[in-house]
Amino acid sequence: MNSASKTMASTSDSAKPPVSSDEESRTRLCEEFAAIAGTDSAVAQCYLAENEWVMERALNSFFEADMERVFEEDFPEEETGPKAKKQKVEEKPPESCIDLTKDSPAPAQKPSDEDDSKLSLISWNVDGLDTDNLSERARGLCSFLALYTPDVVFLQELIQPYIEYLKKRAVSYLIIEGGEEGYFTGMMLKKSRVKLVESEIVPYPNTQMMRNLLVAQVTFKGQKLCLMTSHLESCKGQAEERMKQLRVVMQRTREAADDVTVLFGGDTNLRDAEVARVGLSPGVCDVWERLGKQEHCRYTWDTKANSNKSVPYISRCRFDRIYLRPATKAGVPRLAPDHMALVGLEKLDCRRYISDHWGIYCSFSAG
């Protein structure tokens, strides 16, 4: 992609100038914008140029324009956007809608009485920026919530219509939003089991991609929990900013009182070498590693197995991670991970997956 500025137009065709640092920077910005917004370089260049090459402003402008064509009531998909290949999805009659108003899980998943004290969690980048088949994909997410009835849900890449849909369908959950514009994170807390004390949004000062840290102080079965979710900076070239954001997460973990259990989950975009450079705070464990690095849970973004993104390469990464720091105070129950699985591995009727990321399901028991 050539993002040379208009000032280069007067240069003789016979003498090609060297690529300037400004050109390289703008090329990189276009690539990152395209990767985040799921668009092409030409669209990226247009929005960035209109917004003086400020990534956050350009993304906001893009999402505001895109949102105008996304969904009406309950996500009916329409042929109004630039993506002409959208498939129509018939609206299901009211009686067949996903009902999440009851606390009872599906019979096959009903826990025994001795499991009632276990905490269950799902973390998922739902790829709300991809609006193709989003109504069916959102119903698919609700099906998993009805099946697993997790106590806590961490979500990334939400957009406002997706949140409104969840508020209507997942009424047994309290939903906390990590933003209002563009795309953002969110938490869902099962009202019958998890009680919210307070929540806050912690900004990342140098983010170029509208990222932040969503924090909620809650109680679960008399235990104090600090829940955190985030979508750390994307793209290989943003490693330094991503590591700064991980340091913010670890700092909040260190600051938590010793009678509080801290759980962080989200789309971290982290590479193992980056985690090694930052280091985890004392007492913090990577849940996947603690459970023995099970191979079937390794890759949460896997273009070899997941066809939602049409990319000409194979990339298998453990971008989505769960970190745990148990309470250390004497007499306070210590949560420990006992199970992890990837979810969303089956295609929906539209022949697409719920997201381009697999979701992570974890359960924790008090030791």
**Active-site amino acid positions:** 267
CA atoms in the 13 A half-sphere facing the CB of 253: 24
The DSSP call for residue 281 is P
Which class for 271: exposed (0-12), middle (13-18), buried (19 or more C-beta within 10 A)? Answer: middle
Q: Is the Cβ–Cβ distance between 263 and 121 less than 8 Å?
A: yes
Look-up of token digits 């129950």:
333
CA-wise closest residue to 277 among 236, 247, 254, 301: 247
Strand pairing category for 119-125 and 194-203: unpaired
Paired sense of beta strands 301-302 and 184-190, if any: unpaired
For every residue of 33-90, DSSP letters joined together read: HHHHHT--HHHHHHHHHHTTT-HHHHHHHHHHHHHTTS-STT----TTSS-TTPPP-P
